[in-house]
Amino acid sequence: MKKSERFALDQWLSDYPGGMAYADIIGTLTAEDDLWEADGFTPWEVVEAFPLNAVAVFIDDTRAVLERCFPESLREEGAA
């Protein structure tokens, strides 16, 4: 997972399945328009009043901004 992806997930979710690819996490959160809960996923309190597909938009917007502002965040975790 890229540093930008991990950062974005951690900004909006207090818990999500470890070892799951970013695209799979976003796919799970956007699987249904009005999905409010998914096993293993816990949004931070500030966004718990939003359906998970909206939280996924927040996550991906955060990732995109981070990658534009800090290109080094595109590196995979653990990469030098």
CB 25 within 8 A of CB 33: no
**Cα gap 74→69, rounded to integer Å:** 11
What pLDDT score does 74 carry?
A: 85
What pLDDT score does 54 carry?
A: 97
Q: Where are the beta strands (DSSP E) in the chain?
A: 13-15, 42-43
**pLDDT (tens place) for every residue of the chain, 80 residues total:** 999 999 999 999 999 999 999 999 999 999 998 999 999 999 999 999 999 999 999 999 999 999 999 988 888 877 65
What pLDDT score does 79 carry?
A: 66
What pLDDT score does 30 carry?
A: 97
